[in-house]
Amino acid sequence: MKIDGRPYRSIWLDKDGRSVVVIDQTRLPHSFETRRLVMVEDAAHAISSMVVRGAPLIGATAAYGVALALAEDPSDANLENAITLLASTRPTAANLRWALEDLGRRLRPLATDERVAVAYRRAAEICDEDVAINRAIGEHGLTLVEEAADGKDSTVNVLTHCNAGWLATVDWGTALAPLYMAHDKGITVHVWVDETRPRNQGAALTAWELARHGVPHTVIVDNAGGHLMQQGMVDLCITGTDRTTARGDVCNKIGTYLKALAAGDNDVPFYVALPHPTIDWTLEDGADTPIEQRAEDEVLTITGRDEAGQETKVALTPAGSRAANYAFDVTPARLVTALITDRGVCEASRKGLLTLFPERGGEASSS
């Protein structure tokens, strides 16, 4: 996507051919800064501190993290240490484990002097594949937006939660890709952007992305969506997902489930967009998804820019109050109208997923 006319991805190999550059998402929307990742520890820290975030980008960063580790030392022990370190950064996104398993499978059989080049090559491929995957998601999702626009001479209002835009991926995004394409095609789209407490990925990142691309949008507090749906002000919801089970349960940013409940109660279609590496074919029941719990501080405080342009962190709660910070929740498949994947749109069920991924038929268990 373009920032001020210049095309960007969210991660790229530096000119030195060894270190990796990412956009520091903790600095947005007030400041656009990049970070250089030189060691595997930098990649691990970028993921755990959410300099990079979003399931597909976490996977891509981990892949480059393995390459950075091997550039230091391509031994078996260092490869395993790097994979263990990177796997421990965040527990929920399926793409992290997917990328590490992919790299591990390719690199373990190789001689140590072959590993570095293969690791960098594969990390770059994962990035390129992610772009192609998300473009395909965008094209499939566009048909749903077109259907919603059909016969309507007014704006198509879409609600999204968290950030499943290009910042969460290598480019295009998942949930936002169809909206960028619809906007580019001349369909009048307006996006209701859930602020997405506590880290405000909606208010900070989705709003920033949409503004850069010129897509009309309005930021709303997380509790507003149900009211807007009751008032007929939402035509459809599209969110991303960090892990989708073989039967179509979707785990996504905390609060997604409540939006799906409200959508179901108001007959608003609730779509979930996902790249195939987000599907965890080993899990049936979404309740078995590991749910990340993050630091209390993210709930107890908020950081923003004051009127003088100074970044300030302020307390929100009385001294001594404790906070719980569950980062994700699970929306059962029955509340999902359809899944938008890179292979097409399907019912959120094992049967639906297997129509698009028949080669996985042997893996999904049969409940």
CB of 286 to ligand MRU, least distance (A): 14
11 phi and psi, to 5 degrees? -150, 140
Task: Tell me the three state secondary structure of residue 66.
Answer: helix
Peptide bond preceding 275 in cis form (omega within 30 of 0): no
CB of 172 to ligand MRU, least distance (A): 10
Q: Confirm or reject binding of residue 168 to ligand MRU (CB under 6 A).
A: yes
Q: Which amino acid is it at 301?
A: T
CB of 329 to ligand MRU, least distance (A): 10
Q: Confirm or reject binding of residue 61 to ligand MRU (CB under 6 A).
A: no
Q: How far is CA 69 from CA 90, 102, 176, 227, 266, in A?
A: 18, 16, 33, 49, 50
Using CB under 6 A as the binding rule, the residues of this chain from 335 to 364 that contact ligand MRU are none
Q: Rounded to an integer, what distance in angstroms lies between the CA atom of residue 150 and that of residue 14? A: 45
Q: Half-sphere exposure (CA, 13 Å, Cβ side) for 365?
A: 7
Candidates 107, 149, 327, 348: give the one binding ligand MRU (CB under 6 A): 327
Does 242 qualify as catalytic in the annotation? yes
* Beta carbon nearer to ligand MRU, 20 or 175: 175
* Beta carbon nearer to ligand MRU, 157 or 169: 169
Candidates 23, 51, 107, 162: give the one binding ligand MRU (CB under 6 A): 162
CB of 66 to ligand MRU, least distance (A): 20
Peptide bond preceding 56 in cis form (omega within 30 of 0): no
Task: Tell me the three state secondary structure of residue 147.
Answer: helix
Peptide bond preceding 198 in cis form (omega within 30 of 0): yes
100: enclosing H helix or E strand: helix 94-107
Instruction: Render 171-197 in DSSP notation, one character per residue.
Output: SS-STTHHHHHHHHTT--EEEEEE--T
Q: Confirm or reject binding of residue 255 to ligand MRU (CB under 6 A).
A: no
Q: Tell me the site size for ligand MRU, rule CB under 6 A.
A: 16
* Beta carbon nearer to ligand MRU, 116 or 210: 210
CB of 171 to ligand MRU, least distance (A): 11
Q: Which stretch binds ligand MRU (CB under 6 A): 108-116, 142-150, 160-168, 229-237?
A: 160-168
CB of 117 to ligand MRU, least distance (A): 29
Q: Rounded to an integer, what distance in angstroms lies between the CA atom of residue 239 and that of residue 175? A: 5
CB of 205 to ligand MRU, least distance (A): 8
β-sheet bridge partners, residue 21: 12, 36
Residue 183 in tokens: 């906007």
Candidates 28, 46, 56, 271: give the one binding ligand MRU (CB under 6 A): 56
Q: Rounded to an integer, what distance in angstroms lies between the CA atom of residue 266 and that of residue 272? A: 17
53: enclosing H helix or E strand: none
Using CB under 6 A as the binding rule, the residues of this chain from 229 to 248 that contact ligand MRU are 240-242
Candidates 201, 244, 289, 341: give the one binding ligand MRU (CB under 6 A): 201
107: enclosing H helix or E strand: helix 94-107
Query: Measured at CB, which residue is nearest to ligand MRU?
Result: 240
Q: Confirm or reject binding of residue 169 to ligand MRU (CB under 6 A).
A: yes
CB 19 within 8 A of CB 38: yes
* Beta carbon nearer to ligand MRU, 79 or 134: 134
Q: Confirm or reject binding of residue 330 to ligand MRU (CB under 6 A).
A: no
Tallying the residues shown for the chain, one arrives at 367
Q: Pairing between strand 20-23 and 11-13?
A: antiparallel
Q: Confirm or reject binding of residue 43 to ligand MRU (CB under 6 A).
A: no
The residue from 102, 194, 242, 249 that is catalytic is: 242
Q: Which stretch binds ligand MRU (CB under 6 A): 76-84, 102-110, 167-175, 301-309?
A: 167-175
Q: Which residues bind ligand MRU (CB under 6 A)?
A: 53-56, 162, 164, 168-169, 174, 201, 240-242, 252-253, 327
Active site residues: 242
